[in-house]
Amino acid sequence: MKARLLPIAAVLLVAAAGGGGPARGQGHAGHGAAPAAPGAQTTQGTRITMDALHAAGGVPPGWRFTLPPGDPAAGRQVYVDLKCYACHQIKGEQFPLKPGETAVAGPDLTGMGRHHPTEYLVESLVNPSAVLIDGPGYVGGDGRSIMPATPAMTLAQLIDLVAYLKSQGGDAGHTQDQPREQTAGGYRVRLAFLPIAAEGHGDHAHQHGAGAPAGKGRLVAFVADAASGQAIPYAPVTARIEAAGTPARTVKLAPAFGAEGFHYVADVTLAAGTRKITVSIGPAALKVGAGAPAQLTRAQTIVFDWK
């Protein structure tokens, strides 16, 4: 039977609800299975009572929108069927363009998979104007994304198309320092270095070249509670930078707020031989009340290899 097309507005609702049934090998918990503790992670996903769900604000602590695994090969066919190649180039791929024709209307998608989480790619497909990137190939004269609204597709097509885009993890034409992320001691920390020469180039801050970045720029740390995903403000944050052939130095990261949300930042110069950055957090500088995350009352260090 031919798959029934879903209106694009319903796609996210179905996906967020789990798709209405098993998909791509994901099944429901078997009958008689022992119940998990509220919010506990199981092989079937998050288990939580309705009361706990409401108490947590309507979503489980640390919740993020997810899709079940897709088929990248099938997603490539969706990419062809929807003629995405007419606007978006992917280096190394051969699509049915006319002789001498080049896809330049939209941004190059080469290496897209390593730069964006799944939920961002889904939003870009179903609501292209939700995030407008300043730069050529993004915004039209009407102030909206130049990408047209995605035509109706099945939920399976959406899942597979995202899987294909996520499989584009190469660096050609889309190089950027990939933010490092670690979870330790109750904190989730994402660390990135944005070279000054790379700032303002549209889709995040691109740089040209391979390997870890060096030179003058901004060291940015996003610090969150690992359980709830909430940003941690007012915590002392420092970074010890170790580079081959030079003495280690420690810099203080100041709290800041911008388009990326709340973060900690310091202007630094990274030597080409930088091999390790150790981030130290806390204890928190604000009053910690009952029920607050335990890690706020103690110091924690997280080591990032920088190669």
Rounded-to-integer distance, Cα 176 and Cα 178, Å? 6
- How do strand 45-47 and strand 40-42 relate by DSSP bridges? antiparallel
Lowest mean pLDDT among 178-187, 197-206, 297-306: 197-206
Beta bridge partners of 217: 195, 268
Stretch(es) of the chain classified as CATH 1.10.760.10: 72-166
Q: Of all residues in the chain, what percent are helix, strand and coil, respectively (each to 5)? A: 20, 25, 55
Rounded-to-integer distance, Cα 259 and Cα 257, Å? 7
Rounded-to-integer distance, Cα 79 and Cα 103, Å? 13
Decide which of 239 and 202 is more confident.
Answer: 239
Q: Cβ contacts of residue 96 below 8 Å, gap of 6+?
A: 80, 85
Superfamily covering domain 180-305: Periplasmic metal-binding protein Tp34-type (2.60.40.2480)
* pLDDT band (50, 70, 90) for residue 142: confident
Lowest mean pLDDT among 72-76, 103-107, 108-112: 103-107
Mean pLDDT of 243-267: 90
What is the DSSP track for 123-138?
HHHH-TTSS--SSTTT
- Residue 187, Cα to own-chain centre: how many angstroms? 17
Q: Cβ contacts of residue 104 below 8 Å, gap of 6+?
A: 87, 89, 137
Per-residue pLDDT reduced to its tens digit, 157-197: 999 999 999 888 654 344 444 557 888 888 889 898 888 75
Rounded-to-integer distance, Cα 186 and Cα 225, Å? 6
* Listed residue (301, 60, 282) closest to 182, CA to CA: 301
Q: Cβ contacts of residue 192 below 8 Å, gap of 6+?
A: 177, 179, 180, 219, 220
Indicate if the pLDDT at residue 8 is higher than 80.
no
* Domain 72-166 architecture: Orthogonal Bundle (1.10)
The structure's pTM equals 0.51
Confidence at residue 28, expressed as pLDDT on a 0 to 100 scale: 34
Per-residue pLDDT reduced to its tens digit, 81-98: 988 888 888 888 888 776
Q: Would you state the structure tokens that stand for residue 188, as one six-digit string? A: 């989730």
Per-residue pLDDT reduced to its tens digit, 24-72: 433 333 333 333 444 343 345 678 889 888 887 887 776 778 888 899 9
Stretch(es) of the chain classified as CATH 2.60.40.2480: 180-305
